[in-house]
């Protein structure tokens, strides 16, 4: 299931972001946002993990990893309003959500 949760992350283009909850919904597992975070951590940077953020455009990673995420996003052209990403400009909308596989 962890692999299924991170498949939608590949669809997020440069300069766009999606929330953990939206990634979970796109994978067909609504309310599994926390498991998306675990799956991204288990992937060890093999996917564009930095394009997934907390609700409201917050970077949830503390310290140096959070700063790395912010710098990666800024390098892709993502803009911030204070500590939050300007979601109106950069939020990626998945076309269709997968049906839950249970």
Beta bridge partners of 80: 85
Q: Report if residue 21 sits inside a domain.
A: yes
Q: Quick check: 98 pLDDT over 70? A: no
Region 13-32: what's the mean pLDDT? 96
pLDDT in tens, 33-84: 999 999 999 887 789 999 999 999 999 999 999 999 999 999 999 999 999 9
Q: Report if residue 14 sits inside a domain.
A: yes
**CA-closest candidate to residue 93, choices 26, 42, 33:** 26
Q: Report if residue 17 sits inside a domain.
A: yes
Q: How many domains does the chain have?
A: 1
Q: Report if residue 70 sits inside a domain.
A: yes
Beta bridge partners of 58: 84
Range of the domain at 55: 2-90
CATH number at residue 38: 1.10.10.10
Q: Report if residue 83 sits inside a domain.
A: yes
């Amino acid at each position: 299931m962890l692999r299924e949760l991170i498949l939608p992350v590949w669809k997020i283009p440069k300069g766009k972001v999606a929330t953990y909850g939206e990634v979970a919904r796109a994978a067909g597992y609504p309310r599994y946002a926390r498991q998306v975070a675990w799956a991204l951590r288990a992937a060890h940077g093999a996917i564009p993990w930095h394009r997934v953020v907390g609700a409201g455009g917050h970077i949830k990673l503390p310290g140096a990893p959070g700063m790395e995420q912010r710098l990666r996003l800024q390098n892709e052209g993502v803009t911030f309003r204070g500590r939050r990403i300007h979601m109106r400009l950069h939020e990626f909308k998945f076309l269709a959500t997968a049906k839950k596989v249970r």
